[in-house]
Amino acid sequence: LAKDMGKNNYQFFTESLNERVIRKGQLENALRRAIDQQEFTLHYQPKIDLDLNRVVGIEALLRWNPIFGSVSPAEFIPITEETGLIVDIGEWVLREACTKNKYWYDLGLLEAPIAVNVSARQFMDPHFIRIVQTVLSETKLPSHLLEIEITERVMINVNEASDIINQLREMGIQITIDDFGIGYSSLSMINSIDIDNLKIDQSFLHDVMKNKKSSGLLGAIIQMGREIEANVVIEGIETEEQASFLAAKGLIGQGYHFSYPLPEEKFEKYLAKQEA
In the complex, which residues of this chain contact ligand C2E (CB under 6 A)?
Answer: 45, 61-62, 72-74, 77, 86, 90, 93, 117-119, 149, 178-179, 202, 235-238, 254-256, 261
3-state secondary structure 165-188: HHHHHHCCCEEEEEEECCCCCCHH
Q: Residue 149 or 268: which CB sits closer to ligand C2E?
A: 149
Stated as kind and residue range, the H or E segment containing 270 is helix 264-275
Q: Write the interaction track for Mg ion spanning residues 34-73; mark x where CB under 5 A is met and - where it is not.
A: ----------------------------------------
Q: What is the DSSP letter of 16?
A: H
Q: Which stretch binds Mg ion (CB under 5 A): 99-107, 114-122, 183-191, 221-229?
A: 114-122
Buried b (16+ CB within 10 A) or exposed e, 74-102: eebbebbbeeebbbebbbebbbbbbbbbb
Binding at 34: pick from ligand C2E, Mg ion, none (beta carbon under 5-8 Å per type): none
CA atoms within 13 A on the CB side of 5: 2
Q: Residue 117 or 143: which CB sits closer to Mg ion?
A: 117
What is the phi/psi pair of residue 261, to 5°? -60, 130
Residue 178 is a binding residue for Mg ion (CB under 5 A): yes
Q: Which residues contact 102 (CB under 8 A, 6 or more apart)?
A: 139, 140, 141, 145
Spatial distance between the Cα atoms of 254 and 32, rounded to a whole number of angstroms: 32
Identified binder of Mg ion from the candidate list 149, 177, 243, 255, rule CB under 5 A: 149
Residue 117 is a binding residue for Mg ion (CB under 5 A): yes
Which residue is at the shortest CB distance from ligand C2E? 255
Spatial distance between the Cα atoms of 234 and 246, rounded to a whole number of angstroms: 9
Q: Least distance in Å: CB of 64 to ligand C2E? A: 10
Q: Least distance in Å: CB of 45 to Mg ion? A: 9
> What does the DSSP assignment read for 110-157?
--SPEEEE--HHHHTSTTHHHHHHHHHHHHT--GGGEEEEEEGGGGGG
Q: Residue 125 or 178: which CB sits closer to ligand C2E?
A: 178
Binding at 164: pick from Mg ion, ligand C2E, none (beta carbon under 5-8 Å per type): none
Q: Which stretch binds Mg ion (CB under 5 A): 70-78, 79-87, 115-123, 250-258?
A: 115-123
Q: Least distance in Å: CB of 86 to Mg ion? A: 14
Strand-pairing partners, residue 198, are: 177, 232
Q: Residue 30 or 173: which CB sits closer to Mg ion?
A: 173
Binding at 261: pick from Mg ion, ligand C2E, none (beta carbon under 5-8 Å per type): ligand C2E
Residue ranges that bind Mg ion, judged by CB under 5 A = 117, 149, 178-179
